Structure 1
C-alpha cells in the first residue's frame, strides 16, 4: 500500500516573474514573463508527495480570498486530501518570486493566513497519529510545528523536519525530529557553526540529510553512516521548488521502507526532475518521472 504522509505547513499563492537576471537593490529589470501558481513549502511538499505516490493529507490554513479558493482547488486536483485545511478570514499567504535565466531565484513571503495556524484540533492530531510519516517546515508558527512533532512522536509516526527558512530551533522541537532535512545555510544556523559540522547536527537529531544543490545530497546518522549521494545532471530552468520536490519524495520513499541512502537518491531524482520545469507546483514531478531519472543514475 502507498504510505500515508501528512504535511503540516504553509500554503501560498506564488507570483512568479521571469527575467534575464535578478535585480540589484533599487533597480528595475524588465521581465520575460509572469505566472501565478499555488505554492508554499507545505502545499508544494504535499503535492510532491502525492505525485510521488503517497496517500497525502495537507493540514494548514488559507485565506478567505480568491487565492485561498485556488490553492485549495490545486491541492485537491493533485490528489491531496485537503479536507482538513482551515480557512482564515483575510488574505492567503503570498510569495513574490523572481527567477533569472540560469534558474536562480529570489523570494519574499508574506505569511497571511499561515500565521493563524495555531493550536491543533483533535481531528488534526488524529490525522497525524494515523500517518506513516509527518513532514513539517518553518513557514508556519514554530509552536504549531513543535506541537505536531510532539503528537507524531506520541503516536509512533516518523517525523521529518525541513528546517526552512533558516532559523534557530527550540530544543523541544528538535527532541521530536527523526530526520532533519537542511541546506548548508540552514545547517549552519541550526548548529551555530559557520562550517558544516555533521557531528554537531547529529548531537541534536538522529538523522540528517544535507542538500547540496547541484552537487547532490549527503546523508548521515548516529549509527555511523555518512554518504554523499550524487546529483542527476539535468538542464536547470527553475530551482524554486526543487527542495520541496526532494522532501516530498523523500517522505514517500521512507514511508515505503526504503533504506535512507536509497530514499535520498530517489529524492535527488525528484529534485532534478523538478528543476527542468518552470513554476513551483507545475514543476513537481510524477512518480514515473522520478523513476525514469532514478534508473539513469550511474551511481546506482
Structure 2
C-alpha cells in the first residue's frame, strides 16, 4: 500500500479556555444541580479544529488570537504540544483570552456561556500576516468564533492559491454570498442550519431542505447534521449516513472533529464522499468520550473504529452519491 499523503491544513478560528462540568442533568434557570466531573482544558472551535487535524495526521497551523495572560500562554503551549503550529496566533496585550463555561448532562447534551475575549479582535491584518502560510495549504478550515471579515480575508487568500475551503460556521446569524460562493464544503449542525436557513432540522427531509437552501446561495456542497445522521448534498446528488451505533457520552467537540476530518481527507486528495464518510466515523467516535479536547481521536483510533464497524457490517465499506 502506498504511503498516505500528509495533508497541510490551516485553521482559522477561536481559542479559549474551557471549564466543563458534567452532572446528571442540566439545571433550570435559578436551579443548582450537583455535578460529579470537572475539567479545565484547551477550548475554542479553532483550537479544537487544529488539534483534531493534527491528531488525524495532517500538518496543522492555527490562525487566531489570544491575550497576553497566563491562560493564553498556557493554551499556546498546549497547542504546540499537540503538534499545532502557532506562529500565526497573535498575542494581544490589551484583552484577556477567551473563556467558555460548559455544562454537560448524562446524555451528552451541553449548554455553554462564554466570553469571546481576544478572539473578537482577530483582524484582517492578522490574516494578511499569515498569507504566506495560507497559500501553502491544501485546505483552509474556517471554524469561526472570530470576526467574519477576518475569515473572509483568509478564504479569499486560500481560494486564490487553489486550496479547498471547508466552512463550519458557528455563532453567526448570516453569511455573505461572497463567502458561500468561495466555499467548497459547508458543515452545519442543526442549530446553525436553523439560524442560517430558518428551517428546523429534525429529520432527513428538513436536512435536505436546509442543504438545498445553502447550495442555492452559492455553497459548492453542504453537510447537515440531523438528529438521525449526516446528509451530504452537492451538484452530484446526495448521500445519507445514518448515526452509527455508539453510546453518546458528550457531543462537545463532535462538530469540530467532523469538519477537521473532512478537511484532512480532502487534503489527502480523497473524494468528498470518502471525506464525509471518514468524518462521520470520526465524529461518532468523539461522542463516546467526555470533553471536547480529550474526546478528539487520533488517526489510528479512527481507522480501527471504521475497520471494526465494517467487519460487523455496521458501516458500508464504500459509499457513493
TM-score higher than 0.5? yes
Matched, 1:218 2:223: no
* Residue 241 of structure 2: aligned partner: 229
Match of 1:147 in 2: 153
Where does structure 1 differ by over 6 angstroms across 4 or more consecutive aligned residues?
Answer: none
Asked whether the 8 Å contact 2:181–2:220 carries over to 1, the reply is no
Q: What aligned pairs does 1:40-119 form with structure 2 within 5 A after superposition?
A: 40-89=44-93, 90-119=95-124
The residue that corresponds to 1:186 in the other structure is 192
Say if 2:139 is the partner of 1:126: no
Q: CA deviation at 1:166?
A: 4.3
2:111 aligned counterpart, secondary structure = strand
Moved more, 64-73 or 5-14: 64-73
Structure 2, unaligned stretches of length 5 or more? 201-205
| 2:37 aligned partner | 33
Q: Which runs of 5+ in 1 are unaligned?
A: none
Give the superposition deviation at 1:124: 0.8
Say whether the 8 Å CA contact 1:128–1:152 is kept in structure 2: yes
Give CA deviations for 1:77-121 in whole Å, capped at 9, x if unaligned: 111111221111231010110011111110112100101101234
User: Match of 1:248, SS?
Assistant: helix
The total of aligned residue pairs comes to: 298
Q: Distance in 1 between matches of 2:6 and 2:97?
A: 31
Q: TM-score, normalised by structure 1?
A: 0.95
Moved more, 191-200 or 21-30: 191-200
* RMSD over equivalenced CA pairs, Å: 1.4
Contact kept? 1:17, 1:32, Cα under 8 Å? yes
Q: Deviations over 1:248-294 (max 9, x none)?
A: 11110111111211211111111111112111111110001111112
Answering whether residue 223 of structure 2 is matched by residue 209 of structure 1, we say yes
Distance in 2 separating the partners of 1:178 and 1:284? 24
SS of 1:22's partner is coil
Give yes or no for contact 1:179–1:209 (8 Å, CA) kept in 2.
yes
Cα 1:19–1:146 shift into 2, 3 Å = same
